[in-house]
Each structure stands twice: as C-alpha cells, then as structure tokens.
Chain A
C-alpha cells in the first residue's frame, strides 16, 4: 500500500512538471512579443527649397523637377530634388495647377492665368524672361496638356475650355457642377475629367467633345477631387471621402468606361505598427491628390500630413512617416520614376524620396531583413498562418488516421473466416444485413433521449425498464432477439444446406468469370506488352479493378462450390511438395485490410500527396458535391457549428467576397486533399501499430472475457482494446509526431502550411538560416507539445502492474 501511495504522489509531481513546461514556455513567448519595437524612420527626407511659400504643384520632366507655388515662386532641381534653385516668375500669381509634356511645363493660377515653359531639360531655358503669359478668362480648377500640344482647363459650373495655341474655345456642354480635375494620357488625345457629385467625363478627340462616363452609383453625392489617366489600361481617381476609384480596360471598352470602387482591405496607420484598420471602401484619412506610379502602385497626398502608398491598387494602403509636422498639407507629387521624386506642400515643404516614400525599417513594406527583429516582425504573421494551417490538417489527419487505424486493426484481427460465412443461415443474413444496421441507426436517438433523461434527474437506468420511468428502449430490441432465436433454431434444426452453398458458389463463379471476360478487352486495348502490364491499373483502372474483384469472386465461388460440409483442414499435394491449405480459414475482412495497408505502406507519401491531389483530384471531387450540398443559399439561414466545420461563407453583402467560401474544410481543395492524404496514409501505419498492441495482449485476456459470456466485440471493446491502446500510446505518439512532420509535404500540392510559408518568406527576405531555423522551431513546438501531451496521457492512464514502464 505504501509503495502504491508514493507512486501516486510521484505521478502527481511529474504531471505538474509536464504541464508547467509548456505553460511557462508559452508565457515566455508572450512576454517577449513586445521586445522588437524599433526606432521609426521616415522614407521621406526633408530638403530645403529656400522658400516658405505654399507649394501647390510640381512636375518632373527630362531629369528635372519643378515646383510651383504662391507668389509666383518657382523652384527647380537638377539632381532629383536634393538641391533647389529658387526663382520667381510673374510675381503675384499663385501657381496652383500644372501639367507637363513635350519638353514643356504648363502652369496655371486659380484665375486661369497660364504659362508654358518650353525646352525643359536642355539647359537653354534658364532665363525666364519673355515668357508669354496668357491672361485668365475665368477661374479654373485644373489644367492638362492634350495630345496635340494644346491644353484643356476645367473650372466651376461645368466650364471646359480648350486652348489651341491661339485662342480659347469653349467646350462646356451644359454641366452645372464644378469640374475638379482633368487628366490626359501622355501624348494621346484621350482624357478624363472628374467633378462634383461623382461626375466623370471622357474625351477621345483631344478635348473637343466630352461624354459622360458612369461613376459608381454610391458616389452620386461625392466629389471626385483628383483623377489620373495613367495608361491605356489603367486610370485612378480619388474622392473627397477617400474612395479610391479604379478603371481598367475591359475587352473592347477603353479605360474610363467602367469604374469600380477599390475594396480597401487594410489600411496601416502611420508608424511601424502592424495594427491596421480593416475593411471598407473609404480611407481613414482625407486625400486630395493621387499619383499613379505603375498599374497598381499609387501614392496619395492630402492635408494633415497625409502621404501614403499602395502597391496593389489600393487594397492595402499604408500611411507613411514624414519628417515634418502633421499639420503640413501636401498638395502634389512629382515623380521621376516609380521610386524617386518629391512631394510638395504648404509652407514650402519639399520631401524627397528614393523609395516611393516607404520607410526602410517599419511596417509590412520593405524592411531591413538583416535585422533579426525586423525579420521576425515580417515573418511571424506568415509563420503563424502556416502554423494554424498545419494544425488544421494535422488535427483532422490525426482524427481520420486514428479512426481508420482502429477500424483496420479490428478488421485485421477479426476471426471471421469463410467457414463462418458459409455457415451463415438466412436469418443470420437478415439480421446482419437489415436488422443490425437499422438497430444501430435507431440506437442513436434512443441513446440521446436516455442521456437527456439521466441528465434531467431520472436516475433510472437500463435495467429498470418496466418500472415507473421514462427510459426509452430501442424498438428493435425484441425483434432482434426473436430473430436471433429463430436463426439459432434454424441452425439447430436444419443441417448445413450444402446445396445452397454450392449454388451460391456457382453464381459467384459465373459472375466472377463474366466480370473478368467482359473487362479483358479493355486491357488488351491498352496495347501493353509483357512487363508493361504492371501499369495497367493506371491505364484502365475500372477494368483492372473488376478483373481483380472478378478473380476474387470466382475463387470464392470455387471454394463455395467445393463445399462438402467438412470445413476441416485439407492437405494439398502439388508435385512432391506437400503443403496444407485450408481455404475455409481465409479471413475476408483481414484480406481487405491487408490490401489497404499494403498499398499505403509501400508507396511514398510524397507521391501519394501528388497522386491524390493532382492525379485523382480528390480535392475537386470532394469540394464540388460538398459545396452543392452545403450551398450558400441553404446555409444562409441554417449555418451552425457543424456546418461550419465543412464550409463558412462570406455573408457580408458589402464585401467583394460575398457568397464565397472563406472557411471550413470545403474552402480549399488542397486542404481537403492534404487531410485525406495524411489521414489515409497514417491510418495504414496506425493500423499496424494498434494491431501489434492487440497482439501483445495475452490471448488469455480474450479467453477470460469470452468465458464470462462477453461476445467478441464486447471482449475487444471492454477488455482487449483498453489495454492495447495503453500499450500503444508510445508508438501511436510516434505515428502522430510523424504525421505532423509529414504534413510539411502538403506544400507540394500548394497548401499554405508552415514549410510553404517558409519558402515564401525566403523568397522575400533571402534569410535562409533564420527562416528555416524558425520553421524548425515551429515544428518542434508543435510536436514537442504533442509529445508532452502523450507522455501525460500515458502516465495518466497507466495501470499499476500493467507493463514495464520504468515508473511504478
């Protein structure tokens, strides 16, 4: 007794230690999570332009950058914005609008006064004397050079004027709203105008005639403050409320016909934080100017120090750090290429960048991956996603593998032989094929009802049936018993019906032979020769399947046909070799399970992954009918935690992904295939592990179980399996850890688990040592936690005196 007590104490202590380790590790992880905060640096450099006047507009052309502002101020930089030469042109005019092209820059005031600076970049036009000033006709909001070296201005109350070099032509056509921005495709006669109340106009004849274009209906009361015709396939605009509008060429429709509001998935606020504002169509900050750098790279500027960049057409917008006060209002960009250029703003502020304003050290943008903290900041999110993805396939894989392993090991150890099959009489057949399945189906609701009964206070159980309680009995119980009795009576009164068995045998042979013959043609049509026939299961899968099955059925039929009522052993003599073979001793269930394990244990898992996903397309075959079953319309009112396991749909009507699967097993084909590949493979191995443990249980345990009247399944379930599972926890742990490690192969079918994420991280950061090291650590943490859990489970379920465990 004392030794037992001390053992208990020892167990408790080590249990506590086992639990303490992962918990403390977890706490350690959490406590370190805030350490990697870094000094924030801006991607913009403040340069001195030598003025404090507000700068309203800027242009970059022919290697020079020009900026214009109040009081006729005009700044020029020949070195990409580092140093500036100041000048004043036409003092008294506040230059607010500009456009450039044909080696010229066009500038204009709000009153419509315009100047064209020509021959930019050839060094000739350093003197600004004698430049013709075109007097203003009316207030304007924007100017743009057209494709024919003319220019167009837009203004209040729908004013559109075109200047053809000599005189002004009124192109207004009855619009009363203010027009706010105009943009032409460089060197072309196609242009766009945006204005109040969501107006978008377009021209394809250099501004002579304008047509309405459909802006999205949501913007009918919103002003579109800036528009840029970037290329023949892309144009962008921005509204006063922060909508980013995008237009692409769609088929034969040119840019500008179809406009969509960009779904802003994430908006990073200023600084290096990884926190972001999620969702929506409006920016959190006001923007007044948009600059398109490439088809999908846009920069935005606005009041309150707003400068931001999106590299994916506005889906992810990250606000940038600036080296000046947030009170600065930014008015315009002048970019020499996709990276280098300046932003100008009020108070003579000029910011210069060589990296489109991206901070090198912060945010999700380009980070310095030689700094481990930055590297971790970048990669942790991906690794965490991978960890979750791995955990998902591992969880379902283990679930599937273990259930399959138990079933297969039961099949493999099943004692049912052909002799038992042949001795089955018609009532037993009826019981097995019809009654037992029905009984099992009814058992579920009955058990649920009874469990509810027990929970709600009725302590009466099974044996009290008939007394005053409300325990439900399976309605098929009595039928089953009476049929069992009948079956027993038949077995006793009727001798074995050899004739019937032989008749069945004959039918089986005929069926088998028919199946073989009818499928042979397909095999010969494959034109295989000699050893090539080993590949015929791939060339004609169903034919080979039917031929093998036909052979098995024919052999079975032959055995049945040979029945003479004596199921004892038969010695066969082939030539001079004697061997004993008892066909009645063949165990059909064992044969099926053996075939399964042989296939899955004798092929590489990697190939199984590829065959299952790409070859057999299991993912597609499961996904399509699955999604049809759990379709969006059906689940809209009926989704619950069970259907969530299969599929979750995006149900927010405002989301772009509305009605599309966003979660659950059916969401991703690779996910489905990965679960099945892992589960099917692991099941084959776990089957052998469990079978080994069952074999290790002394046969006397089964005998003892049977001797008190338990049937085979009861003895298995109540006596053998509880001991076998305890024995095989260590090797099953092996299998489960293996399954976790094998899950890395899922990357080959495109499933985004940790290893694949590692590959992606390497592709961005080139930090191979750190990346793969962190992937290793991630795997170690999963498997080690699993191993600790299994160790705990092993000690928890250990029975004193059962097995040699080193402890008790």
Chain B
C-alpha cells in the first residue's frame, strides 16, 4: 500500500444562502494515483476540489494532506496551497504577465527563489508542457490550449504533491483538447498524484486509475476506471448515456 497523499473524510459544504452542495463525501488518493471525479453539472464536483485547497472553506469534515490536517486555522494555508497545484477551467493566467513571469511568480514570491534561478526553473517546466517557444508572449496572445498548458506549468513549477484539475478542457475547442489531455496524461505517467474533475469520459477511462461518480453532493459510485464501461447504478448509467449522446 503506497502512501496516502490526500484524504477527505465526511466533507460537507453549505453555501451562504443554504445550498447544500456537498453532503458528506470521503475518499483517499494515494501517491501516483490519478482520480477522476465525474458527474453532472451541480453535483458538487468543483466544490469538492476547491474545498481541498480551501479556496472554499468546507463546512464540516477533515481534509488531510500527507496525514496533516489542513482545514484548521493552525495550518499555514499559503504553504498548503503552494503544495497543492490547481488548474482552473478558465485558465486564470495572470493577464499582465508574460508566460515566463506567470510561471516564475510563485517561485520568486512564495519559494523565495532568485529571479534568474526561478526563470531557468520555469523554462524547464515550460519545456515539459511544450511551451518553451512562447515564453515571452502575453496570455492574451495564446490559444486556449496553450493557455491551459501554461496554467499547468504554473502549478507544476511549485513542485506540488498533488494536482487538482478543475474541468481543464471544458473551455477549449474540441481540436485544442487533445494537446492538454496529452500533457495531463504525460504527467500521470510520470507519477504525478492528481485529482481531475472532468467531463471527458474517455479521458477518465484511459488515464484515471480510479473514477468517482458524484450525484447531488454525494458519491454515487466509486471504483477503478473500468466501472465506466459497466456502471452499477442507474444514475451513472443515465449520466453516461446522456454524455455519449
């Protein structure tokens, strides 16, 4: 049994106004594992992801990173976040910074690394996502797929222990999805621990070690990626068929 990187126990989230988005879910992610969370819109997938690095404070439950509880006032939230990479659906690159500065910003200001060293580090990471030729471009001049790969590089540069992908391909044109998925797949093969919220069923099936199907704030079905082909519950069957249509 390999090391448990991320552990979530009985996590609940009620938004201000009373929406009960997550109604108590638990799961664990071991080192090198890639977990795909699928589910229809509004099922609470993104909320779970954001609760992990506390962009949203979970109302109840325990989130542990490498056995250390992180959703208490005691944990240094900035340190925790720097150890958890996050990739957003809408990229959220810093629009006023060049690609290289986007990637090295965290290294300089969070890790305290000098500018030159941080930039050489950033170049290495950008090479991994095949974006080395656009280091001086501004995000506004990149295509969607390129932006997302830079966003992945930005998270990757911090050498995170786990990476969270929040629907990384949803905002992309179909022909651009491929390159991003390839990049993520490459990371998975290199042994990066990751949690991917996705609508790409084929990606979940091919890349993820485990699949977690969420419905109405609860885990409806969980298992190895093979469950996508043989769903047990009616809800998941419906969901899969609606996607495949």
Interface residues of A (CB under 8 A from B): 4, 423, 461-464, 484, 488-489, 491-493, 568-569, 698, 700-701, 703-711, 714, 718-719, 722-723, 726, 799-802
Contacts and interface: CB of A to CB of B under 8 A. Distances in A.
Given A492-B74, A723-B94, 13 more contacts: A462-B112, A489-B74, A568-B59, A700-B88, A701-B94, A704-B88, A706-B78, A707-B84, A707-B155, A708-B110, A710-B78, A802-B95, A802-B138
Contacts of B154: 708
Most chain A CB within a 10 A radius of its CB, from B83, B86, B95, B106 = B95
The secondary structure that dominates the A interface is helix
Interface string B70-84: 001111101101111
22 contacts: A423-B73, A569-B16, A698-B90, A698-B92, A701-B92, A704-B93, A708-B85, A708-B158, A709-B79, A709-B82, A709-B83, A709-B106, A710-B78, A710-B110, A714-B109, A714-B110, A718-B94, A726-B96, A799-B96, A799-B138, A801-B95, A801-B139
Contacts of B114: 461-464
B113 interface: yes
A709 B88 contact: no
Contacts, number: 108
A804 to B, nearest CB: 11
A488 to B, nearest CB: 5
Contacts of B85: 707-708
B74 A705 contact: no
Nearest to A717: B109
Contacts of B26: none
B109 A718 contact: yes
A706 B112 CA distance: 16
B135 to A, nearest CB: 14
A507 B125 CA distance: 56
Contacts of B88: 700, 703-704, 707
Contact of A705 (B76, B94, B158): B94
Q: Which of A463, A488, A701, A714 has the most CB of B within 10 A?
A: A463
Q: Which 9 A-B pairs have the closest CB atoms?
A: A801-B140, A709-B82, A492-B74, A704-B92, A708-B106, A707-B86, A709-B110, A700-B92, A463-B114
B183 to A, nearest CB: 18
Interface string B45-85: 00000000101000100000000000011111011011111
B115 interface: yes
Nearest to A493: B74
A402 to B, nearest CB: 19
A463 B114 CA distance: 6
Contacts of B117: 463
A725 to B, nearest CB: 9
A718 B110 CA distance: 12
A799 B92 CA distance: 15
A700 B90 contact: yes
B115 A799 contact: no
A704 B72 CA distance: 21
B229 to A, nearest CB: 34
A723 B109 contact: no
A495 to B, nearest CB: 11
B238 to A, nearest CB: 31
Contact of A799 (B72, B86, B140): B140
Nearest to B90: A700
A461 B76 CA distance: 26
Interface in B165-218: none
A461 B55 CA distance: 33
B105 interface: yes
A801 B137 CA distance: 11
Contacts of B106: 708-710
A723 B95 contact: yes
Contacts of A489: 74
B98 to A, nearest CB: 9
B226 interface: no
A569 B59 CA distance: 12
A679 B122 CA distance: 43
A484 B90 CA distance: 34
A290 B72 CA distance: 93
Contacts of A705: 94
B155 A708 contact: yes
Contacts of A492: 72-75
A715 to B, nearest CB: 10
